[in-house]
Structure 1
Amino acid sequence: MAKTATSGTRKPWWLLGILVILLSMGSSVGIFYFMDNRAEADPQAMAEPVPVTPPTPVFVEIKPFTVNVPSRQFEQRLLYIGLSLKVGNEVTRDLLIEHMPQVRSRLLMLLSSQEAESLTTPEGKQALSAQIMTDFERPLTDPQPPLSIQDVLYTEFIVQ
């Protein structure tokens, strides 16, 4: 009968060990499942496209004007031009509008130095755009915040 008493005391320890192992395995599976779901949630959130609205463009319109331009074939030709400047911020827009007579004067001086034949080609128009952008690197006033002029757009362009 001593053997039955000994085997009876071993059985609860053995069941207790199996119970601890099963609980450990269950908690490990639960933690793995929880961590795995979190890892899957992040790429899904990143994969969804976030709608990005582009900033509203800011333009400064320069009213059309006529300029005499020299020509190789004729003595004088006329350039009728209308421009809009695409600017990067409201400060630049306000500064250009405030100094519009000076802006128009600079453009008049620059345009009157152009040759009519070069203005009729697409390359000539691109070169003129680059010269206009360079011309705005000189300050209009002192002190002046940096100007943000992004593009020169021709709204009217006639060489006659």
Structure 2
Amino acid sequence: MAKNQSEKKNGKPWWLLGIVIIVISMASSAGVYYLLDLNTPANADDHQPEEEAKAVVAPTPIFVTVSPFTVNVQSDNYEQRLLYIGLSFKVGNEETAGLIEQNMPQLRSRLLLLLSDQNAEELTRPAGKKAVASEILALFDEPFSDPQPDLAIDDVLYTDFIVQ
């Protein structure tokens, strides 16, 4: 019986020490999880002011469409070649869109003159299409009327393009 009592007295502190170690490790694990959770990007956005947290919304693009038309183009072999082309202009504001639509007959005339001077073989290459797009943008350097506000034309987009 003396052995049994001494085992009970000596066994109890080790058992309590094991429970204390387990509780301390659980508490430290919970603390580390809490601290790491605060540094995640999802929670970092919660602490920002409302103005910064709002998503940036891209402005709605404005396009002016030129209805498709056909024009004769030059050829190396003096053959008759045709270009069927449709265009859209990406513009920066409504004022520019309105001005282009008001002067559409002048713009179409300028486009016909420019495109009829192009070489069909060059137009079939991507570099030729890019060169024509930059030439089309240069058409807007000459004003449609006097005085004319500055035009905000961002890009020339081909909607139809067939060389035959």
TM-score (norm 2): 0.69
Letter in 2 for 1:117: E
Could you tell me which of 59, 68, 71 is aligned with 1:67? 71
1:134 aligns with 2:141: no
- What count of residue pairs does the alignment treat as equivalent? 119
1:52 aligns with 2:62: no
Aligned to 2:41: none
Equivalence map 1:12-27=2 (5 Å): none
Residue of structure 1 in register with 2:88 after alignment: 84
Q: Please state whether the residue corresponding to 2:157 is helix, strand or coil.
A: strand
Residue 47 of structure 2: SS of its match in structure 1?
helix
Which structure 1 residue ranges, 4+ long, deviate > 3 Å from structure 2? Answer: 46-49
Query: In structure 2, the residue corresponding to 1:45 is in which secondary structure?
Result: coil
Q: Which runs of 5+ in 1 are unaligned?
A: 1-40
1:146 maps to 2:156: no
For 1:104, which of 101, 108, 113 is the aligned residue? 108
Determine the C-alpha separation between the residues in 1 that align with 2:103 and 2:49: 47
The corresponding residue for 2:17 is none
Q: How far, CA to CA, are the matches of 2:135 and 2:49 in structure 1?
A: 44
Identity %: 59
Cα separation, 2, equivalents of 1:44 and 1:69: 62
Alignment-derived partner of residue 124 in structure 1: 128
Cα displacement string for residues 102-144 of structure 1 (whole angstroms, at most 9, x for unaligned residues): 0100000000011000000011000010000111111011000
Q: Secondary structure at the match of 1:136?
A: helix
SS in 1 for 2:141: coil
Matched residues in 2 for 1:49 and 1:117: separation? 52
Question: TM-score, normalising length from structure 1?
Answer: 0.70
Instruction: For 2:102 and 2:58, locate their aligned partners in 1 and report how far apart those are by CA, in whole Å.
Output: 27
| AA partner of residue 159 (structure 1) | V
